[in-house]
Amino acid sequence: MSDNGEGGGCRPCSSICCRFIITSGFAALFLWLALRTSQPTCSIQDLYVPILNKTDHSIGNRNNSIFCDLMLDNGMKEKAVYYENISLIFFYDPNTSFPIANYTVPGFHQGHGKKAHRKLVVEAHGPSWEAALKNVSHGTVSVLRVGLSTKVRFRIIFWYTKRHNLVVGADIEVNDSGKKVKKKGIKLKSSSPERNCHLLLLLFSSVLVVLL
């Protein structure tokens, strides 16, 4: 009889432990969801290079400016973002080792769920456009590489997180009118994997190990 009593006493204890583990796992998951952050989406909505417009590229009237519409989208509904100074670098393909232009966008605060446009006029310094002009004159597109780098902090409730690096870029094709080929905005992407995906996988793996 005493053996049965002892065995019966273990079942409620194991049930309580099981519920505690499951509750702790879900609490950790909900806490992660509340504190997790995602990088803002950076894209080039419009880009125009006057010197590549074959209808107006006379040698005596060259315009080395690059007109660019940069959009920064904070898709998070509960968290604001603070951008430090944003560095933009332009390269003419295939000479990606030598920038042809650079521009600094002053840092700013962006509210949750907000989009911000920065329309820029960037002066290219001494690039040789002959190869690009030859491409567009023969119906072949030219390619500009746009790189963006900055540091961001996320505001969660009443405090800011530590600084996170944001380094993205994209190749943009330009036609014989000097405009980008794609009508839609071109997203600047990172070459590194998404941090949040790895954290989520690690969290679920940890919970499964504890439960099993």
The first and second tokens of residue 10, run together, are 């273990």
Q: What are residue 127's phi and psi, to 5 degrees?
A: -75, 155
**Which pLDDT score is estimated for 192?**
63
CATH of domain 36-200: 2.60.40
**Which pLDDT score is estimated for 138?**
79
Which sequence spans correspond to the domains of the chain? 2-34, 36-200
The first and second tokens of residue 96, run together, are 């990606």
This prediction's pTM: 0.74
Contact 38, 75 (CB under 8 A): yes
**Which pLDDT score is estimated for 97?**
75
Report the amino acid identity of residue 128: S
Q: What is the pLDDT along the chain (212 residues), one digit of tens a residue?
A: 445 555 555 667 777 777 767 676 655 555 555 556 789 999 999 999 998 888 875 554 578 899 999 999 999 988 999 999 999 999 987 667 778 899 999 999 999 999 999 999 999 886 667 777 777 777 788 899 999 999 999 998 888 899 999 999 999 999 989 999 999 999 999 876 555 445 555 544 554 444 45
Report the amino acid identity of residue 35: L
